[in-house]
């Protein structure tokens, strides 16, 4: 029993000492509690976050995007006639995914190196290294279908290239378009000999 009364007496004196210390020193206050009470802490956090984000993104290197919109018109046989309105036949004659793969193929990119004179843009690289540079995941060539009417017999593709140098980005897209033109011209020349 005596131990219990001693522990209670010890606690009461400790609390009395803390109250007298806080009352005697008015300079000891909590800034976070004051800022939170007046709701300034979230505002200061937002300002700090915006400043940090600005500092981070202003130090990022600039990247330039060059794009070309390419429209491919197919020479369909005249025997199809009214079947031009059949969505299955239109899908057969205009598959944009096939054209995207054709543009990214080795033969089109080899023609792009020749026609667009990409050796000037990449003087230290061989033709195979230039093709692998064009197919790079980070900066490489991007070919995707553009939006078009559903039953249209034509197709539009967007060829884009992202690079830190704007002149190189424009030259690469221009070279790929020229290489694709040469590829299609060679394909259409062989249509007469096959038929």
Q: What string of pLDDT tens digits covers the 195 residues of the chain?
A: 555 555 555 555 555 554 555 445 556 777 777 766 777 777 888 899 999 888 887 877 777 888 988 887 665 554 555 555 555 555 555 555 567 778 888 888 888 888 888 888 888 888 888 888 888 766 678 888 777 666 665 678 888 988 888 888 888 889 999 998 888 888 777 665 554
Q: What's residue 174's pLDDT?
A: 92
Cα dist from 94 to 23, 75, 180, whole Å: 85, 11, 16
Scored b (16 or more CB within 10 A) or e, 13-39 reads: eeeeeeeeeeeeeeeeeeeeeeeeeee
Q: What's residue 10's pLDDT?
A: 52
Q: Measured between alpha carbons, how far is 181 from 126 in angstroms, rounded to an integer?
A: 23
In degrees and rounded to multiples of 5, residue 145 shows phi and psi of -70, 140
Q: What's residue 78's pLDDT?
A: 47
Nearest C-alpha neighbor of 103 from the set 70, 76, 75: 70
Q: What's residue 50's pLDDT?
A: 92
Q: What's residue 185's pLDDT?
A: 84
Is the Cα torsion angle 41, 47, 51, 57 positive or negative in sign?
A: positive
∠ at Cα 38 (35, 39), nearest 5°?
80
Q: What's residue 39's pLDDT?
A: 74
Task: Give the number of other CB atoms < 10 A from CB of residue 125.
Answer: 15
């Amino acid at each position: 029993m005596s131990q219990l009364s001693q522990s209670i007496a010890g606690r009461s004196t400790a609390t009395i000492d803390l109250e007298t210390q806080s009352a005697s020193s008015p300079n000891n206050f909590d800034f976070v509690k004051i800022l939170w009470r007046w709701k300034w802490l979230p505002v200061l956090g937002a300002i700090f976050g915006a400043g940090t984000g600005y500092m981070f993104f202003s130090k990022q290197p600039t990247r330039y995007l060059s794009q070309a919109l390419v429209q491919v018109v197919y020479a369909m046989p005249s025997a199809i006639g009214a079947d031009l309105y059949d969505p299955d036949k239109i899908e057969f004659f205009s598959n944009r995914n096939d054209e995207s793969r054709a543009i990214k193929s080795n033969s089109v990119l080899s023609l792009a190196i020749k026609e667009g004179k990409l050796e000037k843009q990449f003087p230290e690289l061989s033709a195979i290294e230039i093709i692998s540079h064009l197919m790079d995941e980070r900066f490489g060539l991007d070919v995707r279908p553009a939006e078009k009417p559903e039953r249209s017999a034509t197709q539009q593709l967007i060829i884009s290239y992202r690079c830190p140098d704007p002149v190189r980005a424009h030259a690469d897209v221009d070279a790929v378009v020229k290489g694709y033109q040469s590829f299609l011209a060679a394909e259409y020349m062989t249509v007469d000999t096959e038929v």
